[in-house]
Amino acid sequence: MRSVYLLLAVLPGCYPTVAVNYVPTNQAPHALHPRGPSGVKIASTPPSEPFAEVGFIEGQPAYGSLEPPASILVWMQAGAGQWGCDVLLVSSASMILGRSHAGDSGIGYHGTCLVYLDDAKSAELAATAPVIDPTAPPPPSAQLAHDGPMLFRSKAGDIYRVQPESREEALRLGWVPVAAP
């Protein structure tokens, strides 16, 4: 099982707020084309174009996180793009109980990674929403003037929410700031 986040205490102020897991189910009909989140359609009904199911995707708030439902879907869409999905077919929601020391609950979602059988269509979608190059040099820290937490991609490709006081450390480690999906 692959996951978009890992529980690492690498940086103070860095914490994953959403766990997104991917479980492969079937062989893809062609090479998968990773892309940015905007290249993945979120749907609750299957597309009319011929497709194949290649995996299950589950998103839920991390322990201690009270992410709103829309945020969970945004993170799932970003993960689906990394795994090359054309469509994130959301099949159900689940109540996650006891997600914090206070016993709060949260909403999680179950979905399916679908890819179109037409490789050209899949590649075209990926081309319109390119993946951020994790090897690109980070922008100068002056461009990171932002009051709240920001998303960063580690060298391994994992996405973390980084607090303002830890941004310089994230950049020193070679992490790349990414726009919120």
Task: Give me the number of domains the chain comprises.
Answer: 1
Question: Which pLDDT band, with edges at 50, 70 and 90, does 21 fall under?
Answer: confident
**Per-residue model confidence (pLDDT) at position 114:** 96
pLDDT in tens, 90-144: 998 877 655 445 555 567 889 999 999 999 988 888 887 766 544 444 433 333 4
Contacts of 110 by beta carbon, 8 Å cutoff, 6+ apart: 56, 57, 58, 90, 91, 92, 93, 94
CA atoms within 13 A on the CB side of 103: 0
**Per-residue model confidence (pLDDT) at position 47:** 93
Is 8 or 132 the better-scoring residue by pLDDT?
A: 132
* 145 located within any domain: no
Percent over 90 (pLDDT), the chain:
26
* 104 located within any domain: yes
* 169 located within any domain: no
**Per-residue model confidence (pLDDT) at position 134:** 47
* 163 located within any domain: no
* 175 located within any domain: no
Q: What is the mean pLDDT of the chain?
A: 74
Low-confidence winner among 16-20, 57-61, 124-128 (lowest mean pLDDT): 16-20
* 164 located within any domain: no
**Per-residue model confidence (pLDDT) at position 162:** 75
Q: C-alpha distances in angstroms, 90 versus 51, 114, 163, 179? A: 15, 11, 30, 23
Q: Supply 18's token pair.
A: 């959403």
* 140 located within any domain: no
* 152 located within any domain: no
What is the rounded distance in angstroms from the CA atom of residue 86 to the CA atom of residue 32? 9
Query: Which residue range forms the structural domain that includes residue 51?
Result: 2-129
Q: What are phi and psi of 66, to 5 degrees?
A: -120, 50
Which one, of 23, 27, 122, 129, lies nearest residue 78 by Cα? 129
